[in-house]
Structure 1
Amino acid sequence: MNTNNSKARYVPALLVILTVAAIIFVIQSFRIPTETQNTTVGVVLIGSWADKAWNESHYKGLQKACDAYNCKLLGREYVADSGDAGTFYDAVDGLIKDGANVIFLTSFGYGSYLDKIAAKYPDVAFFTISGHGKANNCTSYFARLYQVRYLAGLVAGAATKTGVLGYVAAMPNSQTNRGINAYALGMRRANPQAKLLVHFTGSWDNQNAEMDSVVKLAAAGADVITYHEDKPNAIEKAEMMGLYTIGYGSTQANYSQRYLTAALYDWDAVYQKVLSDYISGRVTSTKDYWLDLSEGGVKLDKLSPLVEPATAELVELELQRIKKKDVFSGVIYDNKGQLRCDEGEQISDQELFYGMDWFVEGVEIDE
């Protein structure tokens, strides 16, 4: 028996075994890290996680994402975003003490505290809707609600009988202003002569002030009401008064058909995307999230049966258009007559997110 020939026959088989073992080792080495077992998520809320509005939509969206990726979720409720900063710092300190290594800040005002707290905890990842935070452990996330605010403005502009729309808002900032402006652009697209009266309450959650604002706006001729507050107090008052309404943020089934539609976030989609990227290591300090219609970050609620078919057709046409060309593009004048955007131009994301301190033509601020 030729021993050398026999050995030669077994060499290829040995090589195959070694090659397969090496491939298995490489595959094992490049698995996505199972960091979900060690990820504890903290969320800071300005109100109750069960408020059936802004805070609940964030909490539930984040809870679904945590469930999907086997993360633990910790929360702090009723944390003010202005005034006594100690309340905010105590909330974050408590979350980190309890094990949170990634924290979501869900109110715009928290941004003013972010740099200090991020510097204190450089190994904790902070996600904020405010857009503030210059440290490497800070990332901005949001959804382009202004896109569906524009579509809702089309519905409102077509529905008004008086040519006057009312808007109840907490306070002027870039987030609030771009929603007002997008809504007014949609209103003017459907009804070029209409005007939008805006009343600021100075608070994200003040039931009396919000309901009083509706009364004042209605007295000034507004027959369609929308809002930008944490809770739908303005809608409830408008319903009592028999006015048309446009919802925001979340929707409820117990309103009349005068509730024409709503501009909605899909926080489930937003948090799934952001948390998935964090866990898989795709988040960087230069990567901000601003999910749009195409990415599922926002959506328009179903239309009321009172919405005319022609209006529904216009909404669909404009929806398809703004998926390709942003709401804030083409010729746009502000309410003081200054040209803010020209033909062939588009307002930058930088200005939309941080610098929109003006209002478009057709907007009047009710002092």
Structure 2
Amino acid sequence: MKNKELRTRILFLLAGVLVVAGIVLMIINFSPDRINRVVSVGAVFIGEADDNGWNESHYKGIRKACEENGCIMYSRMGVAEQEEELKGAVSVLVSQGCSCIFLTSYGYGEYLNSIAQEYPKVAFYCISGEGDRSNCTSYFARMYQVRYLAGIVAGKATESGILGYVTAMPIPETIRSVNAYALGARKANPSARVIVVYTGSWDDKASEEEAVMSLKEAGADVITYHEDRPYAIDLADEMGMLTTGYDYVSKQYSNRFLTGAVINWDILYTKVLRDYLSGRANFSKGYWLGLSDGAVSLYPYSDMVSEETRELVTSEEERIMTTLDVFSGRILDNTGVERCSENERISDDELFNHIDWYVEGVEVYE
């Protein structure tokens, strides 16, 4: 009798252990950080992974996100912003088993919907893209927030009051950054001017260097850029001009490199990838991460940046993260038209998709 009772107790104990073990396994299996299958992630780049700029920063960001989440990364390099080339690259990645693909250049967005329709079981994420299908969306960082802060640094540092800005083409991505830089510069120096030169290309060394020369002739003593590679500030630094960087800093400059508006792509890609892996992919609104997420930051200051400037930047950074964004309060455009009133904030939709005007203090060289 006693043996039978003992066996019964042992069976109940074993059953309890199995139940607990099952619960633990369920928790592990449903944890976003635990992936039970190896996922292949694809990425398409307009340039090469060692360009010391845009493509390198994205490549490293995606690679790190994949490593941290147990995914395999496949990539296609040097893919032009043309439909047939992009479709060919995507076809290769899909054939390699990629179920999640990042399109890392703005021009790919034009073909996002048609590609997403062709591969309905693949998730597509495109830089600044405008897809409206259930398996695609856009992603970017709120670069304009740290552009504003870098503009404060530049506005405090300039002696001529003229800042030069070299960029590719007038699209919302570049225009909002130009405007944020100008707002920051004029926060520090109300009479500051930002002169913009468009090169018509994301990667054209000759045009970008020519732009720097013309800006210097126009009186600019600080140069920044919004291109794939840092040709503009490379030359400006050699010429003894002050500079602020963009996106990714891969080399050592002189102390005339004041700071840089940096995107921490690994943080953004990790967020997007983990959402995808855990079934929480945000295809309805896209991803636009900023200062509060750690997705953007300022590069460490040069010793030429004063303590007064640093304190102003810190104060404005706290304001952006806790109360109002950069594009809030009364804002006039460069023709004198009020674009935002005292108690308003410009919407994300306007900033991300539609902005086509410049704030007060911006001049565009044709």
Normalised-by-shorter TM-score class: over 0.9
1:28 Cα offset (Å): 2.5
**Paired residues, what number?**
362
Measured against aligned partners, the alpha-carbon deviations of 1:39-64 in whole angstroms (never above 9, x if no partner) come to 10110001001111100010011111
Measured against aligned partners, the alpha-carbon deviations of 1:198-237 in whole angstroms (never above 9, x if no partner) come to 0000000000000000111111111100000000000011
**CA–CA distance in structure 2, aligned partners of residues 71 and 173 of structure 1:** 33
**Which residue of structure 2 aligns with residue 341 of structure 1?**
340
* Alignment match of 1:317 (pick from 304, 315, 318): 315
**Which residue of structure 1 aligns with residue 261 of structure 2?**
263
- Letter matched to residue 76 of structure 2: R
Measured against aligned partners, the alpha-carbon deviations of 1:174-213 in whole angstroms (never above 9, x if no partner) come to 1111100100000000000111000000000000000000
- Letter matched to residue 133 of structure 1: G
- Letter matched to residue 24 of structure 1: A
1:76-225 to 2 correspondences below 5 Å:
76-81=76-81, 84-225=82-223
Measured against aligned partners, the alpha-carbon deviations of 1:152-175 in whole angstroms (never above 9, x if no partner) come to 000110111111110000001111
**CA–CA distance in structure 2, aligned partners of residues 39 and 315 of structure 1:** 41
Measured against aligned partners, the alpha-carbon deviations of 1:85-113 in whole angstroms (never above 9, x if no partner) come to 21111111111112111100111110001
- Letter matched to residue 329 of structure 1: S
- Letter matched to residue 50 of structure 1: D
| 1:105 and 1:126 in contact (8 A); partners too | yes
1:25 Cα offset (Å): 2.4
1:69 Cα offset (Å): 1.4
**Pairing 1:28–2:25 present:** yes
Q: Greater shift after overlay, 102-111 or 65-74?
A: 65-74
Q: Secondary structure at the match of 1:37?
A: coil
**Pairing 1:39–2:39 present:** yes
**Which residue of structure 1 aligns with residue 352 of structure 2?**
353
**CA–CA distance in structure 1, aligned partners of residues 357 and 16 of structure 2:** 65
1:11 Cα offset (Å): 6.5
1:18 Cα offset (Å): 3.3
* Alignment match of 1:232 (pick from 230, 233, 258): 230
Structure 1 residues 18 and 254 mapped into 2: Cα distance closer, same or farther (>3 Å)?
closer
Structure 1 residues 154 and 86 mapped into 2: Cα distance closer, same or farther (>3 Å)?
same
Structure 1 residues 314 and 71 mapped into 2: Cα distance closer, same or farther (>3 Å)?
same
Structure 1 residues 289 and 134 mapped into 2: Cα distance closer, same or farther (>3 Å)?
same
What is the TM-score with the length of structure 1 in the denominator? 0.94
**Which residue of structure 2 aligns with residue 243 of structure 1?**
241
Q: Greater shift after overlay, 237-246 or 200-209?
A: 237-246
| 1:145 and 1:179 in contact (8 A); partners too | yes
Structure 1 residues 28 and 147 mapped into 2: Cα distance closer, same or farther (>3 Å)?
same
Q: How large is the RMSD of aligned CA atoms in angstroms?
A: 1.8
| 2:38 and 2:70 in contact (8 A); partners too | no
**Which residue of structure 1 aligns with residue 57 of structure 2?**
57
**CA–CA distance in structure 2, aligned partners of residues 252 and 27 of structure 1:** 44
- Letter matched to residue 191 of structure 1: N
What is the TM-score with the length of structure 2 in the denominator? 0.94
- Letter matched to residue 209 of structure 1: S
User: Which runs of 5 or more structure 2 residues have no equivalent in the other structure?
Assistant: none
1:278 Cα offset (Å): 1.3
Which runs of structure 1 show a deviation greater than 4 angstroms over 4 or more consecutive aligned residues?
Answer: 5-17, 33-36
**CA–CA distance in structure 2, aligned partners of residues 100 and 260 of structure 1:** 41
1:355 Cα offset (Å): 1.1
| 1:131 and 1:353 in contact (8 A); partners too | no
| 2:151 and 2:182 in contact (8 A); partners too | yes
**CA–CA distance in structure 2, aligned partners of residues 210 and 64 of structure 1:** 31
Measured against aligned partners, the alpha-carbon deviations of 1:262-294 in whole angstroms (never above 9, x if no partner) come to 000001111111112211212132242111111
**CA–CA distance in structure 1, aligned partners of residues 232 and 60 of structure 2:** 23
| 2:275 and 2:282 in contact (8 A); partners too | no
**CA–CA distance in structure 1, aligned partners of residues 285 and 208 of structure 2:** 36
**CA–CA distance in structure 2, aligned partners of residues 350 and 236 of structure 1:** 34
| 1:36 and 1:71 in contact (8 A); partners too | no
1:6 Cα offset (Å): 8.9
Percentage identity across aligned positions? 50
1:299 Cα offset (Å): 0.5
Q: Greater shift after overlay, 29-38 or 307-316?
A: 29-38
| 1:36 and 1:279 in contact (8 A); partners too | no
- Letter matched to residue 159 of structure 1: A
| 1:46 and 1:107 in contact (8 A); partners too | yes
1:15 Cα offset (Å): 4.8
User: Which runs of 5 or more structure 1 residues have no equivalent in the other structure?
Assistant: none
**CA–CA distance in structure 1, aligned partners of residues 276 and 80 of structure 2:** 27
**CA–CA distance in structure 2, aligned partners of residues 27 and 252 of structure 1:** 44
| 2:109 and 2:128 in contact (8 A); partners too | yes
**CA–CA distance in structure 2, aligned partners of residues 338 and 8 of structure 1:** 89
